[in-house]
């Protein structure tokens, strides 16, 4: 029995196993008195010990950043759809995406058409140009501004209102970060448009309500092609999402590009109070409440 088991082990493991067997025999006395059942049990123990020696150590990878990540609740099991800058209107998406709720020249400011076709994308951006805004963007079904004025409920429902409010009619939502989780992966993106379908559902976005029925199976979140690609989604699917402060955003491809990107701006030395006020916040000591990191932009596929 032992001779049948040992050939499956490496030479070093066999040597270790035989040493263990000899030591075990010496501890138990005469091995000739060992029963066949005990001998088989010992052989299995030796084989398992040798196998364990060849296995790589277990590596624990953190699944989320730790700084304030639990501050906001998750919205679970949300039907999520794909949209992109420059998308033309369709029956299911009647609003063209060459402009956003907060940017009348969204496509121009982005730098071009954010082609969702994976054949024309690499490193989470379209082939042919480098986006001038963060390609990791999302839309949620609420807008805080209407006809140039801040909506009356905003000061009561937006958790960061006091930190971000500057004046009437200026959004406190644009550019805020969210985490999106799907099938074991978590992506981070900025809120850059409103939808799908609605712009008034604060009870869902900031509360406990579910998304309301619509043509896309009650979709409550739109994600960009870059978010789709990072999450390995190939079609509309279910995700979880939550708001996160910029301090909770870990390194990743969502930090590489964009004049609206909190971290790209910080690497340039920009004053966030002037360029990204909705993500700027100071500690009681007067310093920024998080530091910029400088991830390397990938090259190649």
- Within a domain: residue 174? yes
pTM across the whole model: 0.73
Determine which of 31-45, 82-96, 167-181, 236-250 has the lowest per-residue pLDDT on average: 31-45
In Å, what is the CA distance from 271 to each residue of 67, 91, 135, 255, 266? 22, 42, 22, 17, 7
Kindly state whether residues 50 and 74 are assigned to the same domain.
Answer: no
More confident residue, 44 or 301: 44
Is 287 contained in some domain? no
Does one domain contain both 266 and 215? yes
Asked whether residue 111 is assigned to any structural domain, the reply reads yes
User: In the beta sheet, which residues pair with residue 81?
Assistant: 222
Residue 190 has pLDDT above 50, yes or no: yes
**Residues 162 and 29 both lie in one domain:** no
Tell me, yes or no, whether 234 lies in a domain: yes
Say if residue 86 is in the same domain as residue 161.
yes
Whether 289 is in a domain gets the answer no
Chain-centre distance for alpha carbon 151: 30
Is residue 295 in a domain? no
- Split into its structural domains, the chain has a count of 2
Q: Which structural domain range is residue 115 located in?
A: 69-279
Q: How confident is the model at residue 88 (pLDDT cuts 50, 70, 90)?
A: confident
Of the candidates 56, 82, 93, 88, the one whose C-alpha atom is nearest the C-alpha of residue 198 is 93
pLDDT score of 30 more than 70: no
The number of beta carbons lying within 10 Å of the beta carbon of residue 27 is 7
**CA–CA gap between residue 118 and residue 122 (Å, rounded):** 8
The pLDDT of residue 41 is 73
User: Are 37 and 89 in a shared domain?
Assistant: no
143-156 tens-digit pLDDT: 999 999 999 999 99
Asked, for residue 152, whether it belongs to a domain, the answer is yes
Residues 229 and 145 in one domain: yes
- The answer to whether residue 148 sits within a structural domain is yes
| In contact, 154 and 161? CB cutoff 8 Å | yes
């Amino acid at each position: 029995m032992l001779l049948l088991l040992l050939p499956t082990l490496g030479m070093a493991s066999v040597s270790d196993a035989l040493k263990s067997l000899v030591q075990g025999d010496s501890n138990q006395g005469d091995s000739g008195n060992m029963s066949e059942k005990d001998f088989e049990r010992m052989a299995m123990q030796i084989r398992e010990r040798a196998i364990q020696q060849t296995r790589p150590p277990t590596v624990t990878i953190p699944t989320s950043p730790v700084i304030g990540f639990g501050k906001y609740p998750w919205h679970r099991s949300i039907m999520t759809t794909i949209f992109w800058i420059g998308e033309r209107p369709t029956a299911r998406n009647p609003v063209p995406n060459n402009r956003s709720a907060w940017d009348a020249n969204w496509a121009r400011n982005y730098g071009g058409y954010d082609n969702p076709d994976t054949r024309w994308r690499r490193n989470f951006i379209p082939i042919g140009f480098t986006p001038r805004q963060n390609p990791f963007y999302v839309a949620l079904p609420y807008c805080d501004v209407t006809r140039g004025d801040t909506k009356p409920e905003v000061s009561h429902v937006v958790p960061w209102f006091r930190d971000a409010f500057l004046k009437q009619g200026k959004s406190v939502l644009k550019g805020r970060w969210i985490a999106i989780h799907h099938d074991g992966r978590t992506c981070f993106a900025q809120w850059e448009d409103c939808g799908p379908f609605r712009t008034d559902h604060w009870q869902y976005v900031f509360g406990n309500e579910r998304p309301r029925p619509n043509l896309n199976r009650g979709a409550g979140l739109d994600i960009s092609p870059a978010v789709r690609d990072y999450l390995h989604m190939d079609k509309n699917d279910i995700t979880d999402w939550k708001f996160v402060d910029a301090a909770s955003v870990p390194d990743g491809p969502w930090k590489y590009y964009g004049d609206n990107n909190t971290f790209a701006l910080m690497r340039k030395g920009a004053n966030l109070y002037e360029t990204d006020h909705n993500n700027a916040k100071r500690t009681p000591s007067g310093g920024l409440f998080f530091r910029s990191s400088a991830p390397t932009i990938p090259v190649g596929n």
